[in-house]
Chain A
């Protein structure tokens, strides 16, 4: 295989994190040393200068989702934003309502937050999804009770890339007087999302998924009608009392700049990702049998490609294609030997869930890299299947379901 000018390994894990855009880095640099002031200092120009930069970034973030800058508060990332939104709302309204609805395919930080609330006496409904990964709207609406305070459903899925029908979910929430929170860590800056059009009340945002820095995120909190929440971090009352602690000016500037660029280049980024998606998926499906795309084939962010290579165990595939930096799912759960709970929720057999790999492509992925990846994957599919007893049995016409396997 010719390497030409490709630098190995090739990064194909854009859902785990993204490299920073050089334009973001450039915007951040002055705020480390020259303009280092505390944005909350009200007695000198160092503070004013930093505050101005923070407010500009707040507007940049707000603009991207049709929000008012006053509705954005900065957090350390989407995990904190999810915690704040869900715990904050649940606890503020707990005297009246104690029920939360979410999906079993949500990110671990949403599910774990809900588990904690259950221990505190809240009731949580974890809804299944359809085989394409999308919420069943009828089931969602039927699950609402007069005790439901919050529905939390993510915008773009981190493992399988499917896009949830935010507008329809928002309508259902509004109709029943339930707050709508969406974890848009993987959707913010990638697909057009308007908080007004979708009736979104709270939305979690991450910097490092959109070519911004790690360690910064934001939470959108609707002001009209006003959503109240109990803060998790107490202190100096920064961020309108909802998130105390000194704002990290350089990181905030970076998030703002990343949001601005994402807004300007959204269409271009999307077309680019779509082309690379089609190039990779098309070539692999053409070149190999029994490869399946997980999650809805159309309603998805094309930069996320989750494939099941039947009869090839995922970890051995990752080892075989070590020139490609990929993952078998969420980076947060990659230490576990259990097959992905998300893929199991789509109704995939455990054995099929064991064969899945996520390829994440983004702004800096090249066609040449995709072609290199495709060739490598196809050659390893043949090699690993030649070594697979399951593949051999299937070629002999044996139905694997009829075998009595010894379970461990």
Chain B
């Protein structure tokens, strides 16, 4: 698999790897994918006043999956929840020049962000 330089960069120097305490207020956690499919992403956000102060991820998956999740954490940090929710997988795929067989990795990253936001919102509503 020939990867773009951007994928290799994010794969070799992944940004924001790590975990936050799920129970902490303002933290939203998204867990998407399935081990049987070869991709699982966990993405967490910490929100204060509608702004994502911090984002962390852990990914089980190929180079593209790791790069896609690393990239979105970088994109959403310091941005509003609404901005994060609006990120499209096509933007991720385009930025990383993902080959067609790897488009699903960018979709998973989009879903991970949406799942983290949804979790944050449902916690807040309680």
Contact = CB atoms under 8 A, between A and B. Distances in A.
Nearest to B101: A337
B59 A315 contact: no
Interface stretch (A95-103, A138-146, A174-182, A382-390): A382-390
Interface in A339-356: 339, 349-351, 354
Interface in B26-67: 31-42, 58-63, 65-66
B11 interface: yes
B86 interface: no
B63 A389 contact: no
A388 B36 contact: no
A311 B61 CA distance: 9
A341 to B, nearest CB: 14
Contacts of B118: none
Contacts of A350: 35-38
Contacts of A408: 33-34, 37, 39, 104, 108
Interface string B72-104: 000000000000000000000000000001001
Nearest to B63: A319
A354 B65 CA distance: 14
Contacts of B37: 350, 407-408
A386 B35 contact: no
B32 A406 contact: yes
Given A316-B66, A405-B33, A408-B104, A388 B38 contact: no
B42 A389 contact: yes
A312 interface: yes
A407 B36 CA distance: 8
Interface residues of A, number: 25
B11 to A, nearest CB: 6
A316 B36 contact: no
Given A319-B11, A337-B38, A389 B60 contact: yes
Nearest to B107: A408
21 contacts: A316-B65, A319-B3, A319-B63, A337-B38, A349-B36, A350-B37, A351-B34, A351-B35, A351-B38, A354-B38, A387-B17, A387-B58, A388-B59, A389-B59, A390-B35, A392-B42, A392-B58, A405-B33, A406-B33, A408-B33, A408-B34
Given A319-B3, A389-B42, A407-B34, 15 more contacts: A316-B63, A316-B65, A337-B38, A339-B38, A351-B34, A351-B35, A354-B36, A387-B14, A387-B58, A387-B59, A405-B36, A407-B37, A408-B34, A408-B37, A408-B108
